[in-house]
């Protein structure tokens, strides 16, 4: 996110992971369930042209 004020550019970098509490329900689910099967299921929907999105995200 960039914002222009008085001729200068300011950048704001947010670490969303640090904003979510450690005891949040979704964190607990993530730690208990292995979601790796989703990569195989979603593979046919990604383009074979260009960079490999699945490996660049994680």
Show the domain range for 53: 21-58
Domain assignment present for 13: no
Domain assignment present for 12: no
Domain assignment present for 3: no
Task: Give the per-residue pLDDT at 57.
Answer: 54
pLDDT along the chain (58 residues), means of 10: 68 88 92 90 80 55
Q: Give the number of domains in the chain.
A: 1
How far, in Å, CA of 24 to CA of 5, rounded?
A: 36
Domain assignment present for 45: yes
How far, in Å, CA of 13 to CA of 1, rounded?
A: 7
Question: 């914002």: which residue's tokens?
Answer: 3
Domain assignment present for 2: no
């Amino acid at each position: 996110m960039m914002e222009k004020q008085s001729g200068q550019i300011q950048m704001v970098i947010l670490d969303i992971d640090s904003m979510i509490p450690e005891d949040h329900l979704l964190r607990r689910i993530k730690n208990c369930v292995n979601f790796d099967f989703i990569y195989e299921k979603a593979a046919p929907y990604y383009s074979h042209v260009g960079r490999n999105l699945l490996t660049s995200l994680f």
